[in-house]
Amino acid sequence: MLLTPGPTAVPPEVLEALSRPVLHHRSPDFKLLFGRVQERLRAVFETAGDVLVHTSSGTGAFESALVNLLSPGERVLAVSSGAFGERWQAMARALGCDVRELRYPWGAVPDATEIEHAAADSGATVAVLVHSETSTGVVLDLEACAAAARSAGALVVVDAISSLGAVPLRTDAWKLDVVVTGSQKALMTPPGLAFVAVGERAWAKSREATLPRFYWDWERARAAQAKDNTAFTPAVSTVVALDVALELLLGEGLERAFARHVALGRSARAGVKALGLELYSPDDDSAAVLTAALTPDGVDAVDLRLSLRDRFALTVAGGHGDIVDRLFRIGHIGYVDVFDVARALAAIEVLLGEAGREVEPGAGVAAALAAHENAAAV
């Protein structure tokens, strides 16, 4: 059982769809399906514009944003407060851009006013924002931060890889120029597909951008998708699975899914604190994607994760960087309910007890369920 912030657990209906005989991507059946998938993606992105489909991980789709928007040496502002923000800085540099960093310490929450100043001072034409920093659990105020970058004249590219479908992201209403996500997070599908919503300002800019591109070329993708086709052989079985997963998500309703994730965040935080652990992710409702916590002195987070896996068949995510020995992350996006969170808390309680920590039996689960009930009542 996966309680990670991606890949996430996949519903059985989606796994079943994945295992159907393979469709041919040039067949009428696939066209019909792919037209529907494109409609559903637009609904989840809350956009009337294009959502391009790449067969790649989210990192690949992010590269498509940079190579379609930028020319060699062009200035980019990349905001980071964790591993993924730093990855986009490294990527933009590797692709030959002039990267200006607004680099926060890991776990900090980027601030809109600071972003506006940094964008204006740098004169960057493109600003890169990480909506949900999966390495730390921080979800920034995207509407405000994007408006700040835009008001300084920058196009806004959003890493929404672990946020889309989990927390509100309104592509058109918030005037987001480019939004990138992957199949394997709140979209409840195995990894292998990634999606890029491209707005009008981004299309205009892409026509002048000269970074070399072929596989990632947006025009080629748009031309094919206009005929419910793809430029290159897509991961067809994953598209079939995605169709089912998007139907489930839209059937639940986006607003209800967002409320569920807020409630799951409250549950996980309440439970973690009741177990006497220190929170690393923010202690507020913004932290609806994952709950990151630090193990107490004498309890190694790597050992804890391996024991959860070996003894209880439960996978949570580890830490990055300096705090790999202390940090673990419970993902609660996608196909997750409060009893999944409770199961993880119960298992962690067992392991903490065996490590000699004093924990009141059942305290984590009780706190999680109580917090969830309160959230549901709101």
Given a contact cutoff of 8 angstroms between Cβ atoms, the answer to whether 319 and 329 are in contact is: yes
Given a contact cutoff of 8 angstroms between Cβ atoms, the answer to whether 23 and 33 are in contact is: yes
Task: Report the residue number, 58 or 137, with the smaller CB distance to a copy of itself.
Answer: 58
Q: Which pair of structure tokens corresponds to residue 193?
A: 């597909």
Task: Report the residue number, 63 or 101, with the smaller CB distance to a copy of itself.
Answer: 63
- Helix (H) or strand (E) segment spanning residue 197: strand 194-198
Task: Report the residue number, 20 or 311, with the smaller CB distance to a copy of itself.
Answer: 20
Taking Cα atoms as reference points, which of 23, 41, 366, 78 lies closest to residue 221?
Answer: 41
Question: How far is it, in rounded angstroms, from Cα 73 to Cα 252?
Answer: 45
Q: Is 144 in the site for a copy of itself (CB under 8 A)?
A: no
| Contacting range for a copy of itself; rule: CB under 8 A; set: 5-13, 124-132, 254-262, 267-275 | 5-13
Helix (H, G, I), strand (E, B) or coil at 326: coil
Q: Is 71 in the site for a copy of itself (CB under 8 A)?
A: no
| Contacting range for a copy of itself; rule: CB under 8 A; set: 23-31, 119-127, 248-256, 356-364 | 23-31
Q: Residue 199 has what DSSP assignment? A: -
Minimum distance from CB of 344 to a copy of itself (Å)? 14
Task: Report the residue number, 87 or 175, with the smaller CB distance to a copy of itself.
Answer: 87
Minimum distance from CB of 148 to a copy of itself (Å)? 27
Q: Is 207 in the site for a copy of itself (CB under 8 A)?
A: no
Given a contact cutoff of 8 angstroms between Cβ atoms, the answer to whether 52 and 234 are in contact is: no
Ramachandran angles phi, psi of 200, nearest 5°: -60, -40
Minimum distance from CB of 111 to a copy of itself (Å)? 28
Q: Which pair of structure tokens corresponds to residue 152?
A: 């300084």
Query: Where does this chain bind a copy of itself (CB under 8 A)?
Result: 1-2, 4, 6-10, 15-16, 18-28, 55-60, 63, 72, 90-91, 94-96, 182, 184, 190-192, 211-215, 217, 232-238, 306, 309, 315, 317-318
